Structure 1
């Protein structure tokens, strides 16, 4: 099963150094039965894009949390696509999070299928989204618009052998 795991560039560097994405449990996003039922008209590719987008939103929150903790992190969303056995994935019971899943174990580097990362041209909008996130969470419509602006940027696809170049 393809699962999209939110990440950051520093966390991706740790994956490259230690050979796995963890520690467990890991929250990810996938094409779940609840997502299929809710998004009745979409094909598998569209549903995977929904899961990828949810993971990118979660990556933005990870960036904000890192910065709050004083970690210097580039304003680039990162999503790691992994292929894991379906039995290793448990779906969320939260109806608002139809694509959210949980992995009970760390994911070895060998199960990573690809990495998706913002292009450098997205940095300005991701920075603005990070600054607007607290106000957006308080319900400010203008701030939500700014946060949504980061989603206008498609994440670029990278093969696993390109990870050292991304984090180097």
Structure 2
């Protein structure tokens, strides 16, 4: 099953160093039966993209936590989503339609692609990360800030490109 795992630039650095990573709480996003039922139309590609966008929003939470810890200059605030193929993913419709739980770490060999914000998105990502909780509680201004970040498309990278991407940051 293809899963979309929220991450950060720091996560990517650890992935390249260790050859694997464990998503926080084993949480990922995927095209689940509940997600398919929640849409009146859309093909598989469109619904997988919706799951990827959910993971990108979850990445904002990870960035917010890093910012609360003071941030790290070598890890710019950019949304990161790791697309991986895993054998076992358990749907968690109690959390949301696309949420899944995976057990154990994800190996570099399981990664199909990595999606990362470009430098132009950083200011919008920082603003969105600062208000992610308020947006969840219905704050219209916070939701607007999230929309500003989500207007930026994530760039696509093959797993073998990660060392070069991280070197250029």
TM-score, normalising length: structure 1? 0.91
Deviation at 1:134, TM superposition (A): 4.6
**In structure 2, what is the Cα distance between the partners aligned to 1:54 and 1:134?**
15
Asked whether the 8 Å contact 1:122–1:153 carries over to 2, the reply is: yes
**In structure 2, what is the Cα distance between the partners aligned to 1:158 and 1:44?**
21
Asked whether the 8 Å contact 1:25–1:105 carries over to 2, the reply is: no
Aligned to 1:128: 127
Deviation at 1:140, TM superposition (A): 2.3
Larger mean Cα displacement after TM superposition, 116-125 or 56-65: 116-125
Q: Which runs of 5+ in 1 are unaligned?
A: none
Number of aligned residues: 165
**In structure 1, what is the Cα distance between the partners aligned to 2:25 and 2:104?**
6
Deviation at 1:137, TM superposition (A): 4.3
Asked whether the 8 Å contact 2:9–2:77 carries over to 1, the reply is: no
**In structure 2, what is the Cα distance between the partners aligned to 1:139 and 1:36?**
25
1:1-168 → structure 2 map (5 Å cutoff): 1-22=1-22, 25-72=25-72, 73-85=75-87, 88-94=88-94, 97-168=96-167
Deviation at 1:24, TM superposition (A): 7.1
Q: Which runs of 5+ in 2 are unaligned?
A: none
**In structure 1, what is the Cα distance between the partners aligned to 2:105 and 2:138?**
35
TM-score, normalising length: structure 2? 0.91
Deviation at 1:130, TM superposition (A): 2.2
**In structure 2, what is the Cα distance between the partners aligned to 1:112 and 1:16?**
12
What is the CA deviation profile of residues 34-65 of structure 1, one whole-angstrom value per residue up to 9, with x for unaligned ones?
01111131100100110000000000110001
Deviation at 1:23, TM superposition (A): 6.0
Asked whether the 8 Å contact 1:24–1:103 carries over to 2, the reply is: no
Deviation at 1:21, TM superposition (A): 1.5
Q: Once superposed, what is the RMSD of the aligned Cα atoms?
A: 1.6
What is the CA deviation profile of residues 101-138 of structure 1, one whole-angstrom value per residue up to 9, with x for unaligned ones?
01011111000000000011111211221233354345
